[in-house]
Chains A and B, each alone.
Chain A
Amino acid sequence: MAERSTASGQEFEQTLNQSDTSVADFANKRRAPLQRVQHTLHANPTLVPIIVLAVAIVAFGLIAGERFFTPFNLTLIMQQVSIIGILAAAQSLVIITAGIDLSVAAIMVLISVIMGNLGVSLGVPTVLALLLGFVAGAAAGLLNGLLVTKIKLPPFIVTLGTWNIFFALNLWLSGAQSIRSQDIDANASFLKFFGTNIILGSARLTYGSLLMIAIFLVLWYVLNKTAWGRHVYMIGDDKEAAEMAGIRTNRTLVQVYMVAGFICAIAAWASIGRVGAISPQSFYEGNLSSITAVVIGGISLFGGRGSILGALFGALIVGVFESGLRLAGVDVLWQVFATGWLIIIAVAIDQWIRKVSA
């Protein structure tokens, strides 16, 4: 194009033809090794959690010895992270839009109580109890979404509020009482479906673990291969630009919160199988644990960046650390200590990656 400017143009631009044309090009300058690492990570933010996970597995295999590498222990880690993992999937959706959902675990526990009350205490057919639970989960997400888009409150404040609201509703509906395992078995054993084991030797793969992986794969497809998913990323990247480019951003945001609520309801069903009982006091730290998994998974808290599969790796990293440190005989407090550092390092790496120069 620069060649054609001779015929027209301003007088002061006449010398442009002779100017150095390489300026606008991408000179493939040789980069320092650290810069190359930064660029690679910028293009593939999920590489960080994959590397950390691989290193952690090898390291704990060496430290904790053979007990760590048994099929039993590895499948146990999957079981242990499955509920937080599913919540982290819901959390990822919201965080990719540059939001945050502090209410995911509160929605999950509330829905498990609703499912239990309907299916066990009131004797509603289990499938109907589950369906009503899913509807209630989506409705809880809808409330979050409407408060964020219509009243235009920050997602942090909205979900901090609804966290408390849902927790209070849960205590009210449950009377702060657990529903015992025997009662579930007797009246609505299908609620425990995801606790079912597939036993292969010493490995105990639960349906709940498989469910977690399936949810991540479906969301990965939706986020990367469909228009809706691309819009979710665009909104997180720059909401105003997305709006101007023709996306109905508020509608998409409400849908994101609803899908997140729905996934929390699925997590509620899975949690009944995992825990065996329905306890209104369980998973109180689940909100923050899900954020931990997402952040360690390389998904940016500032939105628009990171792969949802990162959250799966993030959840597994936390699980591997807990299991490995426990088997190595380290006190629980150091597991919490390690998780804390993982969060800080993960966000520091994210900040560093974002400063990449083109």
Chain B
Amino acid sequence: MSGITPVVKATGIVKRYGHVTAIDNADFELMPGEILAVIGDNGAGKSSIVKAICGAIQPDAGEILIEGKPVNFSSPIDSRAMGIEIVYQTLALSPALSIADNMFTGREIRRNDFFGKYLGLLDKKAMEKFAREKLTELGLMTVQSINQTIETLSGGQRQGVAVARAAAFATKFIIMDEPTAALGVKESRRVLELIKDVRDRGIPIVLISHNMPHVFEVADRIHIHRLGKRLCVIDPKDYTMSDAVAFMTGAKEAPALTAA
């Protein structure tokens, strides 16, 4: 593994809020083409470390390398400009706006003519075409129309739109926060297939989840977070779900850090 540059390599990340240490000298590593699950008990700081990597919080100490180059994001907008996409648990979609509008939030395409250049006229046709292509690629075009508003979609379809948006624009990697938490059995299944699909297209994924069966099914490696730092990284083929839960709650001694 030493010959490959990690997509993300974070070392010694520290974040304190007053007397509370949310991230305590934590490390993080994402390799190309993998699904890395991040698990940990509530309050272990798994979302904090991920937020630090995408720029939502600024660490007090530590170094973050993206593809070997040091970065210093001041907001998720910065990391997004580098091709890092986040699928939030709340999805960050506007219910009253269309699928196409939502896919292009903040990176709308203008018409390539006088009206586009000087009057900011949007190229709705191009955006609709692109959105339709992306949804079709991921097998999500079960929706009637790309101009349907988000509020007319089911939970799984909304999740699908959020994932498609991330997959369409991510060039480095995607962070997904609890993508199946709000979904039923069948919709969870679709989203898990979707996640594997995106990975197979070569985009690595950081998956934050509480759902052990889902984590063990899709993850290539599992990063276990405990008390603000990385406890260990395990290969799901070598351990059981009970082992993982035992490590993350401290019931069992963790294996050496370089397990995977």
Q: Which residues of A contact B (CB under 8 A)?
A: 1-2, 4-5, 8-10, 12-13, 16, 19, 23-26, 221-222, 225-228, 230-231, 233-234, 237-238, 240-242, 244-248, 304-305, 358
- Across the interface, do A237 and B96 meet the contact criterion of CB distance under 8 Å? yes
With a CB–CB cut-off of 8 A, which chain A residues contact B189?
Answer: 1-2, 5, 9, 13, 16
CB distance from A303 to the nearest CB of B (A): 9
Q: List the A side residues contacting B187 at CB < 8 Å.
A: 24
* Known contacts A241-B93, A245-B92; is-contact A13 B190 (Cβ 8 Å): no
Contact A246 B106 (CB under 8 A): yes
Q: Which chain B residues lie closer than 8 Å to A233 at the CB level?
A: 94, 96-97
Tell me if B217 and A24 are in contact (CB < 8 A). Answer: no
A1 partner, pick from B80, B185, B194, beta carbons under 8 A: B194
A-binding segment of B30-38, B63-71, B150-158, B247-255: B150-158
B residues in contact with A245, CB < 8 Å: 92-94, 102, 105-106
B3 contacts the other chain (CB 8 A): no
B186 touches A225 (CB 8 A): no
Given contacts A10-B217, A226-B120, whether A238 and B95 have CB atoms under 8 Å apart is: yes
Chain B 161-202, CB-CB to A under 8 Å as 1, else 0, gives: 000000000000000000000000111011011101000000
Q: Quick check: A358 and B152 within 8 Å, CB to CB?
A: yes
What is the minimal beta-carbon distance from B184 to any residue of chain A, in angstroms?
A: 9
Partner of A227, one of B108, B153, B186, B196: B108
B residues in contact with A25, CB < 8 Å: 142
B130 sits at the interface (CB 8 A): no
**Cα A13 to Cα B187 with chains together (Å):** 11
Point out the residues of chain A lying under 8 angstroms from B193, CB to CB.
Answer: 1, 4-5, 8
Contact partners of B82 in chain A: CB under 8 A: none
Chain B residues in 8 Å Cβ range of A23: 186
Give 28 pairs: A residue, B residue, CB < 8 Å, sorted on A: A1-B140, A1-B190, A2-B189, A2-B190, A5-B193, A8-B217, A9-B192, A10-B213, A13-B185, A24-B187, A26-B143, A226-B122, A231-B106, A234-B94, A234-B101, A237-B96, A238-B95, A241-B91, A241-B93, A242-B92, A242-B94, A242-B105, A244-B76, A245-B93, A245-B102, A246-B80, A247-B105, A304-B96
CB distance from A150 to the nearest CB of B (A): 17
Interface centre among A2, A230, A233, A242 (most CB of B within 10 A): A230
State in angstroms the CA–CA spacing of A241 and B121 once bound together.
24
CA distance A230 to B152 in the complex (A): 19
With a CB–CB cut-off of 8 A, which chain B residues contact A305? 96
5 closest residue pairs by CB, A with B: A246-B106, A244-B92, A226-B120, A227-B108, A245-B105
B210 at the interface (CB under 8 A from A): no
B135-161 interface code vs A (CB 8 A; 1 in, 0 out): 000011011100000011110110000
Q: Closest CB of chain B to A23's CB: distance in Å? A: 7
Number of residues of chain B lying within 8 A (CB) of chain A: 46
Instruction: Give A306 Cβ to nearest chain B Cβ, in Å.
Output: 10
- Distance, CA A238 to CA B101, complexed state (A): 14
CA distance A228 to B144 in the complex (A): 27
A246 to B87, CA, bound (A): 12
Given the known inter-chain contacts A10-B217, A228-B120, A234-B105, please indicate yes or no for A2 contacting B186, CB distance below 8 A.
yes
Minimum C-beta distance from A17 to chain B (A): 10
A248 and chain B: residue at smallest CB distance: B77
- From B194, which residue of chain A is reached at the shortest CB distance? A1
- Dominant SS among interface residues on chain A: helix
Q: How far is the CA of A9 from the CA of B121 in the complex (A)?
A: 46
Residues of chain B at the chain A interface (Cβ within 8 Å): 76-77, 80, 86, 88, 90-97, 101-102, 105-108, 110, 119-122, 139-140, 142-144, 151-154, 156-157, 185-187, 189-190, 192-194, 196, 213, 217
Cross-chain contact B110 with A237 (CB below 8 angstroms)? no
Residue of B nearest to A247 (CB): B106
Give the complex CA separation of A13 and B144 in angstroms.
27
Which residue of chain A has its CB nearest to the CB of B91?
A241
- Whether B94 and A246, one on each chain, are in contact in the complex, defined by CB atoms closer than 8 angstroms, is no
Shortest distance from the beta carbon of A233 to any chain B beta carbon, whole Å: 6
Tell me how far the C-beta of A159 lies from the nearest C-beta in chain B, rounded to whole angstroms: 24
* Chain A hits for B213, CB < 8 A: 10
Return chain A residues, CB-CB under 8 Å to B142: 24-25
Q: Contacts A227-B122, A245-B92; is A24 near B108 (CB within 8 Å)? A: no
Known: A12-B185, A25-B142. 9 other contacts (CB 8 A): A2-B190, A24-B157, A222-B120, A227-B110, A237-B95, A237-B97, A238-B94, A241-B92, A246-B105
What's the Cα separation between A212 and B206 when bound, in Å? 52
A234 contact from B76, B97, B154, B190, Cβ within 8 A: B97
CA distance A277 to B120 in the complex (A): 38
Q: In this complex, what residue of A is CB-closest to B88?
A: A244
Q: A237-B94, A241-B93 are in contact. Are A230 and B186 (CB under 8 A)?
A: no
Complex CA–CA separation, A10 to B144 (angstroms) = 30
Contacts of B144 in A (CB 8 A): 26
Tell me whether B94 and A304 are in contact (CB under 8 A): yes
| Bound Cα distance A247, B76 (Å) | 10
B121 with A16: CB separation less than 8 A: no
Residues of B within 8 A of A221 (CB): 119
Asked if B77 and A240 sit within 8 Å, CB to CB, the answer is no
A9 touches B95 (CB 8 A): no
In the bound assembly, the distance between CA atoms of A244 and B190 in angstroms comes to 24
- What CA separation (Å) do A48 and B102 show in the bound complex? 27
In the assembly, what is the distance between CA of A241 and CA of B92, in Å?
A: 4
Q: How far is the CB of B177 from chain A (nearest CB, A)?
A: 10
